[in-house]
């Protein structure tokens, strides 16, 4: 155990280790504070904006004969993953048409041209979003 802590618990000053009793001072006693707190603490995050709920897209009854867009945000390996999904559809459900597209910008950036194409031509979307 630390000698200073030990002496402090005994009520002695660590100066007693120096050898001169004349320099040793008794440890100060701190009185506990009673009553309400002295300071107000504010949340550093502030007040978050209200959340706007957006309903989920309507679900398809079946994917037979539908066009599914496979969209990548450019994350490394996403194109390989989506290619495997396209191969699976060709093998297991050949009536489904898959179309691969690379989204412009990063995962959080908008791509209005691609979104317009998807709304016009696609029945569904599988989007590979990297992290």
pLDDT tens for residues 54-71? 998 888 999 999 999 999
Q: Are 76 and 46 in contact (CB under 8 A)?
A: no
9-13, 26-30, 34-38, 50-54: which has the highest mean pLDDT?
Answer: 50-54
Instruction: Give the predicted TM-score (pTM) of the model.
Output: 0.59
How many other CB atoms are found less than 10 A from the CB of residue 7? 17
Q: For residue 131, what pLDDT is reported?
A: 66
Q: How far apart are CA 12 and CA 18, in angstroms?
A: 12
Q: What is the CA radius of gyration of the chain?
A: 34
Q: How confident is the model at residue 16 (pLDDT cuts 50, 70, 90)?
A: low
Question: Is a pLDDT exceeding 80 seen at residue 6?
Answer: no
Q: Which of 127, 128, 102, 129 lies closest to 113 in space, CA to CA?
A: 102
- Give residue 19's region: left, alpha or beta (phi > 0; psi -120 to 50): left
Backbone angles phi, psi at 25, to 5 degrees: -115, 145
pLDDT tens for residues 85-119? 999 999 999 999 999 999 998 878 899 999 999 99
Q: Among the residues of the chain, which ranges form H helices? A: 3-9, 78-92, 112-121
Q: For residue 44, what pLDDT is reported?
A: 80
Question: Is a pLDDT exceeding 90 seen at residue 12?
Answer: no
Q: How far apart are CA 86 and CA 71, in angstroms?
A: 11
């Amino acid at each position: 155990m630390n000698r200073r802590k030990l002496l402090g618990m005994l009520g002695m000053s660590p100066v007693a280790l120096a050898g001169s009793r004349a320099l040793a001072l008794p440890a100060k006693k701190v009185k506990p504070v009673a009553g309400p707190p002295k300071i107000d603490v504010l949340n550093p995050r502030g007040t978050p904006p209200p959340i706007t709920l957006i309903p989920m897209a309507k679900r398809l009854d079946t994917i037979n004969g539908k066009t599914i867009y496979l969209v990548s945000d450019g994350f490394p390996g996403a194109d390989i993953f989506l290619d495997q999904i396209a191969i699976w559809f060709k093998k297991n459900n050949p009536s489904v048409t898959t179309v691969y597209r690379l989204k412009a910008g990063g995962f959080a950036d908008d791509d209005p041209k691609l979104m317009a194409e998807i709304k016009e031509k696609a029945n569904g979307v599988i989007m590979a979003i990297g992290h």
